[in-house]
Amino acid sequence: MKKYSFLLVVCSLLLFCSCNENAQSGQGQNDTADTVETDRMLYNIRVNGLDVVVDTVKKGENITMLFLNSGVDLKTCNSLLAQSDSIYNIKHKLKLRPYTRIFSDSTLKYLIYEYSDENYLVYDLSDSIPRAYKGQKEITYKERKAKGTIETSLWNAMVDNGLSPNLAMTLSDVYAWSIDFFGLQKGDYFKVVYVEKYIDSIPSGIEDIKYAVFNHLGQDCYAIPFEQDGYRQYFDQDGKSTRKVFLKAPLKYSRISSYFSNARKHPVLKIVRPHHGVDYAAPTGTPVHTIGDGVVVKKCYSGGAGNMITIKHAHSYTTSYMHLSKFAKGVNVGSRVRQGQVIGYVGSTGLATGPHLDFRVYKNGTPINPLKMISPPTNPVKESDMPAFRAVADSLISILSSF
């Protein structure tokens, strides 16, 4: 009996020691795991234990100043700049963009300059031989769906639905020939499938409108992409091009402050007289685009009209753009201009109470209401391509109807 009791005690002690050892061993492993530091990466550089200073280039600063102020000697600086010349020449004036310095014990190890939203230059001083190289941020694309109803404006509809205001600009570009975005009505609505661009997981603009429908005044206006003659463009559900000979408006985004009228009280002269144009209120310097291809026939300062440009187009149309703050470079009498080209900038020259564009359209020399002008369409889908287009259109219209 004593023999068995002794053996029981010994086994218990051995078991206790083994469990205690395993517990201590496990505890040691956990301690080790807890002390392993996760790599912290910036511009593909491991920055654990390093001091990171983020800043933005200030007016008048150049790259040499940034190096010298960071303790780098002029010889090393010149060597690095010579290496980066073939990538991006930044010897002189820098754009006011972000740059990052990474130090170790107050010694500069890296200087990174973001010369665009996507690309950056890395000046690496971490080794005995400094070097310069180009880096690119991670770029991804995501397909999105969105819809909204107009209450006041397209811009506000985007904001109210948590969408990027950039989508309003891109969508208005797609429909620039077919919808007057200055005349949207409450209850108009849109559905769109688009591609959004991300740089380092941060939204960076709208890459592409894949397809869309915009219901304006109860009528569906589809934008169906289809490639014809090697060129991708948008067509409506019947295969007619959404692109027209003339844009709907000469400004990207603004508001109408005065309409076409045969009897309007002039805001400066305080007399009633015809106003055969449309006034678009916009900040001074807003780019003004020609609504169609044509030739500049007048460019001058013209009394109450201020700085103005007149363009002759096909189909016996002429357009005039008044009160400009200045003219675009290279646009002169006799210049050929393309649809959408910037020809000047909004201003308040001449008789004007504030910055705006007075836009006028003439047909055979007679003024017509720009908002009621019916623009001739460009070429539709070819008859031979209609079966292929119909298949694409039916599929995309079905998707738009489903959300």
Task: Give pLDDT tens digits for 198-253.
Answer: 999 899 999 999 999 999 989 999 999 999 888 888 999 999 988 888 888 898 75
User: Once rounded to an integer, what is the mean pLDDT over residues 324-338?
Assistant: 95
Instruction: Name residues whose C-beta falls within 8 Å of residue 124's C-beta, 6 or more positions apart in sequence.
Output: 109, 110, 130, 131, 132, 133
Task: Reply yes or no on whether the pLDDT at 329 is more than 50.
Answer: yes
How many CB atoms within 10 Å of residue 120?
21
pLDDT in tens, 120-145: 999 999 999 999 999 999 999 999 99
pLDDT in tens, 259-273: 655 555 555 555 555
Q: What is the pLDDT, as a whole number, of residue 2?
A: 44
Q: What is the pLDDT, as a whole number, of residue 3?
A: 44
Segments making up each domain of the chain, as ranges: 45-136, 140-235, 255-372
> How far is C-alpha 29 from the chain's CA centre?
51
Looking at CATH, the fold of the domain delimited by 255-372 is given as Glucose Permease (Domain IIA) (2.70.70)
Question: Global pTM?
Answer: 0.62
- Bridge partners (DSSP) of residue 215 are 189, 220
Task: Reply yes or no on whether the pLDDT at 188 is more than 50.
Answer: yes
* Structure tokens belonging to residue 97: 């963009």
User: Once rounded to an integer, what is the mean pLDDT over residues 288-315?
Assistant: 93
Cβ–Cβ < 8 Å for 327, 347: no
SS (H, E, C) 15-46: HHHHHHHHHHHHHHHHHHHHHCCCCCEECCEE
CATH for 140-235 is 3.10.450.350
Q: Tokens 């031989």, residue? A: 129
- The DSSP code sequence of 291-320 is SS-EEEEEEEE-GGG-EEEEEE-STTEEEE
Q: How much is the mean pLDDT over the chain?
A: 86
CATH 2.60.34.30 given to domain 45-136: no
Q: Give the N- to C-terminal CA distance of the chain in Å, as an integer.
A: 84
Residue 109's pLDDT band (boundaries 50, 70, 90)? very high
Residue 39's pLDDT band (boundaries 50, 70, 90)? confident
Q: What is the pLDDT, as a whole number, of residue 253?
A: 57
Residue 17's pLDDT band (boundaries 50, 70, 90)? very low
* Structure tokens belonging to residue 215: 């219901």
Task: Reply yes or no on whether the pLDDT at 151 is more than 80.
Answer: yes
250/254 Cα distance (integer angstroms): 10
Percent of the chain at pLDDT exceeding 70: 85
CA 265, 268, 274, 278 torsion-angle sign = negative
Q: Tokens 């770029």, residue? A: 139
Higher per-residue confidence, 390 vs 254 = 390
Do the two domains 45-136 and 140-235 of this chain adopt the same fold?
yes
Are β-strands 45-46 and 41-42 bridged in parallel, bridged antiparallel, or unpaired? antiparallel
Which amino acid is it at 124? D
Q: Tokens 């003004």, residue? A: 288
Q: What is the pLDDT, as a whole number, of residue 93?
A: 72
